Chains A and B, each alone.
Chain A
């Protein structure tokens, strides 16, 4: 394996401690402090973190949209309120883990999509906890 490995690739973005002026050598150059490595800030358990791509709009009301990039940490234990990835009948699905009448169920955040109760589905398994979603505005 070499550094093409996405999860651990360092993406360095210089962090400036002052604004940059154009046209002449920037006085801010001397104040370049460090690089921001998004992996370092977004991922605390690199060996159990995976990326997935969202297809569909079942979570639209939570702010997660079609084509968003999802960062999932499988080492975390899912708690009610977390947005999670579950496997239902051989498919990945993204839902919010919720409690109703003392029972766990998976809640879609879009009225057009059904919820899933653990009681009614035999083949349902929590795969990981969503820690970030990344949306492109382009």
Chain B
């Protein structure tokens, strides 16, 4: 038996600062050191800000139309979201991080948990500084790195790294002599996994900051939150309960939904939009080897509408499917159910639920409705997918998608810079 190891495993939560804005600034020198905001799909709300925009007190989540004038007068660069750029930069970031850690769990587009080995009490700041420098040089993106014994505390360390100016973007919670002072500064609502309800309950019990949550009576927390609460508290106390999840969890559902550029009032337009989302959703399913047996569609009016309306409808299938034609028939049929004349619809979506992996698919004995996908249709879908992949965008699609889309998304300020489309790569002047 080995004696108590002198090497421990540390967890770092690494996240990219102002990720979307940084991506744009990284490949477009005009935007460097300038206030930049990124708008959500359909140019609806502000979803990302550069530090310079933050300094101008431009708030997150604000509808664009409300601040358009102000942004203009302040000289803020306004960009539509360019997800192909952010996705590509995210992939680059995660792959570069792989070289500097034992294991990596990609937590979101701009966040990853990584594990690193720590020889007894060794300072990991040089490691973190190296990672920060490397990513800045390679991608022009600045990172914040929080280091601790486990994931919950790594999240907290990351918050501290952001809030404490002298930390230079790096905070190692393990090497702090007295962490009480630091943990007191973070409110319970900011703890990873504590939602609004739990936070309210804790506040009502007089538990306001992380320090108090860590030292709270464990029976009380278990009674209210069960095993999840217990795990949370154990992690706060430095034990490791949540493993790094390196493999992707299977998806529970696939959703494709968008806001319309202009509100829809006609059934014809609603059906077309839903059909296009259904085509996308089917393609996504095939990409991940999944089939769905519950298809749901929904639509609603704007949140700002006085004449509000929302409705959804679904159909359960006996045989799970990923066949676009089958799914289109269902979606077109269902769209009549959720349509009511007289409403200005602003959003619609398609949801594929009850997903099963094609490998484990059960065949039903009674099959009275939709035939199982034949070999021929499977081959057809494969061919369409590979042609669309190869020629980059829907060279082959269903007729309904190609008719003029009166409701198409607004992306008025899409940046011209790209890392994925050779026609849009940045220019070097002179």
- Cα A57 to Cα B421 in complex, Å, equals 24
A7 x B419 contact (CB < 8 A): yes
Known interface pairs A6-B421, A6-B422; A93-B428 also in contact (CB < 8 Å): yes
Within 8 Å of chain A (Cβ to Cβ): is B219?
A: no
B389 x A53 contact (CB < 8 A): no
Within 8 Å of chain A (Cβ to Cβ): is B88?
A: yes
- Cα A70 to Cα B425 in complex, Å, equals 10
Known interface pairs A70-B428, A93-B428; A51-B92 also in contact (CB < 8 Å): no
The 6 closest A-B CB pairs, nearest first, are: A48-B138, A56-B430, A87-B29, A47-B92, A92-B428, A4-B392
Within the complex, which residue of A1, A50, A91 is in contact with B429, where a contact is CB–CB below 8 Å? A91
Contacts of A70 in B (CB 8 A): 428
List A3-21 residues whose CB lies under 8 Å from chain B.
3-7
B419 x A51 contact (CB < 8 A): yes
Contacts of B92 in A (CB 8 A): 47-48
A12 CB to nearest B CB, Å? 12
A66 CB to nearest B CB, Å? 10
A51 x B425 contact (CB < 8 A): yes
Within 8 Å of chain A (Cβ to Cβ): is B54?
A: no
- Cα A51 to Cα B88 in complex, Å, equals 13
Residue picked from B420, B421, B426, most chain A C-beta under 10 Å = B420
Contacts of A50 in B (CB 8 A): 27, 419, 425
A48 x B429 contact (CB < 8 A): no
Q: A47-B95, A48-B96, A48-B137 are in contact. List 11 more A-B contacts (CB 8 A).
A: A4-B392, A5-B91, A48-B138, A51-B422, A56-B429, A69-B422, A69-B425, A74-B139, A75-B134, A91-B29, A127-B29
Within 8 Å of chain A (Cβ to Cβ): is B238?
A: no
Interface code A66-88, partner B: CB below 8 Å = 1, 0 otherwise?
00011000110000000001010
B138 x A74 contact (CB < 8 A): yes
Contacts of A43 in B (CB 8 A): none
List B59-110 residues whose CB lies under 8 Å from chain A.
84, 87-88, 91-92, 95-96
A103 CB to nearest B CB, Å? 22
Contacts of A127 in B (CB 8 A): 29, 140
Known interface pairs A4-B420, A47-B96, A90-B32; A55-B427 also in contact (CB < 8 Å): yes
Contacts of A1 in B (CB 8 A): 84, 87-88, 91, 420
A53 CB to nearest B CB, Å? 5
B residues lining the A interface (CB < 8 Å): 27, 29-30, 32, 84, 87-88, 91-92, 95-96, 134, 137-140, 287, 389-390, 392-393, 419-422, 425-430
- Cα A92 to Cα B32 in complex, Å, equals 11
- Cα A52 to Cα B420 in complex, Å, equals 11
B287 x A2 contact (CB < 8 A): yes
Tell me whether chain B's interface is mostly helix, strand or loop, or mixed. Answer: helix
A132 CB to nearest B CB, Å? 14
Nearest-neighbor residue (CB-CB) of B419 within chain A:
A50
Contacts of A53 in B (CB 8 A): 425-428
B426 x A92 contact (CB < 8 A): yes
- Cα A54 to Cα B27 in complex, Å, equals 14
Contacts of A52 in B (CB 8 A): 425-428
A-B pairs with beta carbons under 8 Å apart, 24 shown: A1-B420, A2-B287, A4-B389, A4-B420, A5-B91, A6-B420, A7-B88, A7-B420, A47-B95, A47-B96, A47-B138, A48-B138, A51-B419, A51-B422, A52-B428, A53-B428, A54-B427, A56-B430, A75-B134, A87-B32, A91-B30, A92-B427, A93-B428, A94-B430
Nearest-neighbor residue (CB-CB) of B83 within chain A:
A1
A2 x B428 contact (CB < 8 A): no
Nearest-neighbor residue (CB-CB) of A77 within chain B:
B137
Contacts of A92 in B (CB 8 A): 29, 426-429
A2 x B32 contact (CB < 8 A): no
B430 x A6 contact (CB < 8 A): no
- Cα A128 to Cα B256 in complex, Å, equals 38
Contacts of A31 in B (CB 8 A): none
Residue picked from B84, B138, B428, most chain A C-beta under 10 Å = B428
Nearest-neighbor residue (CB-CB) of B95 within chain A:
A47
